[in-house]
Amino acid sequence: MRSRVDPNGLSGVPDSEGDKRETQMSEDMTVRLAREGHREAFRRLYESHREQVYRTAYRYSGTVQDAEDIMQETFIKAFSRIQTFDFRASSGFSPWLISICINAAIDHLRRRERRAERKQVSLSDLPQEVAAANPSPEDVEVRRQALERIRDSLRILSPRQRVVFDLRYDRHLDIKDIAGRLGCSESNVKTQLFRSVEKLRRTLEPMGRRS
């Protein structure tokens, strides 16, 4: 059972811009202390961000065990690299941490697939078509089969392509934000998206011709 983050900790929701700046200053100080090796600072960062990291890990892994493994790997990597965190170049500790989490999830999925444990990633979050007010049984069945085919088709994408596809078409992030989260170039993101769409088109076109 994962405990809730202490409402008096760093993750409390600010009520004003002043509170937001104060919270950011408090977190910046905690990060600086962690960089100096203070164990309590590491604990506070972990407690403040564990829920967000867990949710991100679960989104891309789909299982509790994998999400917990990814979360652990994320914090290990983050704390071992905390000296590389640049206050001036980064938009904040949280985005930096989530970027590490997303890349850890990609690596974890690749390892899982090498063990032939192929499962869906973020498929439950696919946007579903808005149903008619009173759809016929035939329409319901056609929609069910179409959604099932789309979900199955995403399995042909590589773990990285699935994450990029999700960030773009489900999370609706722009190319620049995706590149920042994955630590790659915008052209690389565009290439991954192009290849993903082409793979899906080749898979889904037969369904379209039959409909």
Domain 1-118 and domain 134-206, same fold? Reply is: no
What is the pTM (predicted TM-score) of this model?
0.55
Domain edges within the chain: 1-118, 134-206
Summarised one tens digit per residue, pLDDT across range 72-130 is 999 999 998 888 888 777 678 888 999 999 999 998 888 877 764 444 434 444 444 44
Q: Domain 1-118: give its CATH architecture.
A: Orthogonal Bundle (1.10)
Q: For 177-209, write each residue's pLDDT tens digit.
A: 898 888 889 999 999 888 888 888 777 665 445
pLDDT over 90 (residue 68): yes
Residue 3 has pLDDT above 70, yes or no: no
Check residue 11 and give its pLDDT: 42
Q: What per-residue confidence (pLDDT) applies to 8?
A: 40
CATH class held by domain 134-206? mainly alpha
Give CA–CA dist 94/48, Å, rounded.
10
